[in-house]
């Protein structure tokens, strides 16, 4: 049996952050590693151009022969529109069999793919401030060098001077922001003219920070506004951890071993032994290393730790950013044709700081050009025919705010392992609505209208920001981690994904998870010297 200096379990954002933190050591990345269909044909045109071209058939890309792309019609699924289309299905493939969950109050999706959930992410990348790291035993100064290195590694675009710059921090090495789509551009222009009004209501708007290229970056091209990101994960202008995994394999910095489901590990004085099921043969194989870094995504990391400790009775805390959706419409844009070239993901961010929230709340603003119209056809309070007609006319005139709510550990919001090895998840939701009403009222001034009754409050889990099961503490107890990532009682085992977050601020978490993974892994590498 080959032995390595370090085994990293998982190839998602956290696993990649860890791999980037280790140099000149033998590293095995152990992963289930499902991959997409490399033969997928991607049109040269944008989505709208291809749809209007009689020689193009977008059915396989948008809908698929199993009608995967129609999965949201009629509210049958809570899946994100970004995960459902045929070419994106590999991202969540087989998760319910590989890691079944018994959940109450929580909608779960997991990824066993090479690159993990970030194959479908919105690529919003944000640095946590000291305020947002309150409750963590580390500060922003501990993460800054790693945020900086990651910025140079993955390529990030954004503004270097707008109302959100103080909130988003360091601007070095940013590429210029993306071009805004029509609706969000209108909003942003109106916001500039009405800043005092918005500020008085507690809102500030600015350009998003996204790991999407607006200029060439090494061998990766700038984004081309084809608006296919809901349908294909292959656009290298949008960063995905899979890009780094492939680069690290090519440069021999890691040995990648896909097709293995880690089931348990044993931390011994001589190092760590991982038992993993070969998904092709069904046999369990063993892998040895001096150090183990677990980056299997918060829920699977928790499962692996509980299973390895045979901790049937233990309940771990669970955090998630609850979300809300606030639809807004501008009547002056009703009936306009869809834009030929645009970007389907986040356009602007907004933050709310005011009396209606104990801490800053961050939101993302989108137009509806990304998903298929059929994804929200039944959200219009009309007949089927009426919805079809109205969605065609009204969709180009709509924008959507998505608010993310912070989370703290609460007794009862928990993860445990039942006797049959299934993850049991419990999460009690909270009542939201006041910030949404405030936003509707603020946007009315600039000609964008909404109704509180049309806001949506999905169940927990729908942000995909799972966190907090093995929190980082200065003096960790059982099932907690030290500031250096070490799992309490397991001298050679480190946890690097969002399982270690002591709490969740409102900001999207993945960039911080990557930076922290890199920080922990650099310490692990140093401990091997």
Which residues of the chain form contacts with ligand FAD (CB under 6 A)? Answer: 9-15, 30-33, 80, 82-83, 111-113, 116-118, 120-124, 260-262, 295-297, 300, 304, 464-465, 497-498, 508-511, 513
**Among 6, 5, 9, residue whose Cα is nearest residue 298:** 9
In the chain, what's the furthest Cα-to-Cα distance?
Answer: 69
* Nearer residue to ligand FAD within complex by CB, 300 or 324: 300
Q: What's the closest the beta carbon of residue 99 comes to ligand FAD, in angstroms?
A: 7
* Nearer residue to ligand FAD within complex by CB, 106 or 511: 511
Q: What is the DSSP string of 92-130?
A: GTTHHHHS-EEEESB------BTTGGGGS---B-----T
* Nearer residue to ligand FAD within complex by CB, 24 or 359: 359
* Nearer residue to ligand FAD within complex by CB, 326 or 495: 495
Q: What is the DSSP string of 4-51?
A: EEEEEE--SHHHHHHHHT--SS-EEEE---B---TT----SS-HHHHH
* Nearer residue to ligand FAD within complex by CB, 315 or 508: 508
Helix (H/G/I), strand (E/B), else coil: 152: helix
* Nearer residue to ligand FAD within complex by CB, 106 or 198: 106
* Nearer residue to ligand FAD within complex by CB, 258 or 354: 258
* Nearer residue to ligand FAD within complex by CB, 493 or 498: 498
Can you tell me the distance from the alpha carbon of 415 to that of 317, in angstroms, rounded to the nearest whole number? 6
Q: What's the closest the beta carbon of residue 264 comes to ligand FAD, in angstroms?
A: 9
Containing 399, the helix (H) or strand (E) segment is: strand 398-404
163 token code pair: 């109302």
Can you tell me the distance from the alpha carbon of 345 to that of 342, in angstroms, rounded to the nearest whole number? 9
Q: What's the closest the beta carbon of residue 338 comes to ligand FAD, in angstroms?
A: 22
Angle at CA 284, nearest 5°, toward 306 and 310? 20
Q: Which residues share a beta bridge with 255? A: 28
Phi, psi of 477 (to 5 degrees): -100, -170
* Nearer residue to ligand FAD within complex by CB, 149 or 303: 303
Q: What's the closest the beta carbon of residue 299 comes to ligand FAD, in angstroms?
A: 8
Q: Are 204 and 365 in contact (CB under 8 A)?
A: no
The length of the chain, given as a count of residues: 529
Give the distance, in angstroms, between the CA of residue 157 and the centroid of all CA atoms in the same chain: 17
Helix (H/G/I), strand (E/B), else coil: 275: strand
Q: What's the closest the beta carbon of residue 448 comes to ligand FAD, in angstroms?
A: 23
Q: Are 51 and 58 in contact (CB under 8 A)?
A: yes
Can you tell me the distance from the alpha carbon of 92 to that of 307, in angstroms, rounded to the nearest whole number? 22
Can you tell me the distance from the alpha carbon of 399 to that of 322, in angstroms, rounded to the nearest whole number? 20
* Nearer residue to ligand FAD within complex by CB, 32 or 50: 32
Can you tell me the distance from the alpha carbon of 524 to that of 481, in angstroms, rounded to the nearest whole number? 14
Q: What's the closest the beta carbon of residue 5 comes to ligand FAD, in angstroms?
A: 19
Q: What's the closest the beta carbon of residue 512 comes to ligand FAD, in angstroms?
A: 8
Q: What's the closest the beta carbon of residue 495 comes to ligand FAD, in angstroms?
A: 10
Q: What's the closest the beta carbon of residue 178 comes to ligand FAD, in angstroms?
A: 14
496 token code pair: 């690097």
* Nearer residue to ligand FAD within complex by CB, 83 or 455: 83
Q: What's the closest the beta carbon of residue 155 comes to ligand FAD, in angstroms?
A: 15
Q: What's the closest the beta carbon of residue 30 comes to ligand FAD, in angstroms?
A: 6
Q: Are 302 and 99 in contact (CB under 8 A)?
A: no
Q: Are 348 and 207 in contact (CB under 8 A)?
A: yes
**Among 181, 155, 175, residue whose Cα is nearest residue 46:** 181
Q: Are 522 and 23 in contact (CB under 8 A)?
A: no
Q: What's the closest the beta carbon of residue 453 comes to ligand FAD, in angstroms?
A: 26
* Nearer residue to ligand FAD within complex by CB, 27 or 118: 118
């Amino acid at each position: 049996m080959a032995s390595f200096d370090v085994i990293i379990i998982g190839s998602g954002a956290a696993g990649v952050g860890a791999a980037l933190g280790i140099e000149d050591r033998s590293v095995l990345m152990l992963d289930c590693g499902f991959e997409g269909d490399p033969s997928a044909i991607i049109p040269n045109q944008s989505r709208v151009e291809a749809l209007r071209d009689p020689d193009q058939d977008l059915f396989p890309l948008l809908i698929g022969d199993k009608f995967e792309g129609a999965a949201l019609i009629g509210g049958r699924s809570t899946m994100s529109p970004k995960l459902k289309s045929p070419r994106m299905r590999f991202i969540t493939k087989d998760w319910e069999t590989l890691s079944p969950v018994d959940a109450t109050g929580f909608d779960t999706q997991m990824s066993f793919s090479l690159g993990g959930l970030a194959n479908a992410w919105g690529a919003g990348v944000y640095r946590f401030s000291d305020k947002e790291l309150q409750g963590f035993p580390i500060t922003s100064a501990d993460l800054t060098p790693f945020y900086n290195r990651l910025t140079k590694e993955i390529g990030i675009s954004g503004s270097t001077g707008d109302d959100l710059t103080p909130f988003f921090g360091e601007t070095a090495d940013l590429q210029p922001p993306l071009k805004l789509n029509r609706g969000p551009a209108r909003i942003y222009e109106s916001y500039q003219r009405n800043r005092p009004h918005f500020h008085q209501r507690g809102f500030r708007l600015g350009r998003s920070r996204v790991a999407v290229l607006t200029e060439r970056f090494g061998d990766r091209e700038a984004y081309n506004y084809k608006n296919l990101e809901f349908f294909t994960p292959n656009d290298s202008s949008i960063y995905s951890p899979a890009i780094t995994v492939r680069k690290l394999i090519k440069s021999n910095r890691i040995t990648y071993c896909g097709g293995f489901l880690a089931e348990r590990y044993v931390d011994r004085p001589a190092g760590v032994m991982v038992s993993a099921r070969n998904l092709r043969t069904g046999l369990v194989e063993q892998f040895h290393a001096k150090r183990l870094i677990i980056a299997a995504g918060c829920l699977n990391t928790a499962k692996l730790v509980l299973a390895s400790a045979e901790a049937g009775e233990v309940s771990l805390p669970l955090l998630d950013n609850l979300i809300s959706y606030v639809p807004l419409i501008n009547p002056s844009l009703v009936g306009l044709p869809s834009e030929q070239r645009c970007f389907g993901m986040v356009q602007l961010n907004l933050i709310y700081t005011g009396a209606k929230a104990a801490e800053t709340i961050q939101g993302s603003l989108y137009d509806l050009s990304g998903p298929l119209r059929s994804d929200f056809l039944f959200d219009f309070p009309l007949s089927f025919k009426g919805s079809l007609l109205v969605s065609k006319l009204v969709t180009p005139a709509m924008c959507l705010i998505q608010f993310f709510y912070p989370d703290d550990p609460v007794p009862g919001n928990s993860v445990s392992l039942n006797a049959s090895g299934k993850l049991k998840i419990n999460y009690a939701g909270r009542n939201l609505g006041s910030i949404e009403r405030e936003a509707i009222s603020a946007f009315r001034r600039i000609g964008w209208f909404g109704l509180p009754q049309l806001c949506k409050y999905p169940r927990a889990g729908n942000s995909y920001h799972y966190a907090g099961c093995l929190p980082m503490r200065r003096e960790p107890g059982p099932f907690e981690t030290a500031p250096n990532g070490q799992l309490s009682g397991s001298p050679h085992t480190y946890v690097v994904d969002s399982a270690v977050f002591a709490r969740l601020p409102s900001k999207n978490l993945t960039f911080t998870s990557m930076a922290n993974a890199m920080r922990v892994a650099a310490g692990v590498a140093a401990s091997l010297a």
